[in-house]
Amino acid sequence: MLDRELAELYGAQVKALKQAVRRNMERFPEDFMFELTLEEDRALRSQFVTLKQGEHTKYPPFAFTEHGILMLANVLRSERAVAVSILIIRVFNRMREVLLSHRDILQKLEQLEGRLTGHDEEIQAIFDHLTELVSPTALARKPIGFKPQDP
């Protein structure tokens, strides 16, 4: 999550949040928090149709992982920050549970796909043979029976 989103959830100013993080950088290793590059920030800004005054700063935002969000609550030390962090961590855990529960289904689908890829050519050959059997033959037959010839 980005710093401005967390600041809104925590009821803090983005500037105060960034100051707290910068004072405690040892608590935020790269797998907890990182700062977006200028190119990433520009790409992120281009996703918005209109820019609201004061909402987009000239400094790139911080992006926090679930562990960084928990550490951020410890740095900010407000009751609201702790409560919101607990809720966010629960959401992350629920997302992980959902993804893990669907992993079995995805593995079975991949196995099924692996078995079916070789059958495409065989099925096409069967359809080709059936089409030949059903379609009328191009050879015209001579009529059967006696036909008097015209004089």
Q: Is residue 121 part of a domain?
A: no
Number of domains in the chain: 1
pTM over 0.85: no
Q: Coil, strand or helix: which one is 33? A: strand
Q: Is residue 19 part of a domain?
A: yes
Average pLDDT over residues 26-48: 83
Q: Is residue 76 part of a domain?
A: yes
Q: Is residue 112 part of a domain?
A: no
Q: What are phi and psi of 34, to 5 degrees?
A: -145, 160
Confidence grade of residue 22 (pLDDT, cut at 50, 70, 90): very high
Confidence grade of residue 98 (pLDDT, cut at 50, 70, 90): confident
Q: Is residue 116 part of a domain?
A: no
Q: Is residue 113 part of a domain?
A: no
DSSP sequence for 108-140: HHHHHHHHHTTHHHHHHHHHHHHHHHHSPPSSP
Provide the residue range defining the domain that includes 94: 3-99
Q: CB-side exposure of 6: number of CA atoms within 13 Å?
A: 32
The DSSP bridge pattern shows strands 62-64 and 33-35 to be antiparallel
Q: Is residue 126 part of a domain?
A: no
Q: For position 108, what pLDDT does the model report?
A: 81
Q: Which residue has the tokens 């992980």?
A: 96
Question: CA–CA separation, 146 vs 143, rounded Å?
Answer: 9
Q: Is residue 83 part of a domain?
A: yes
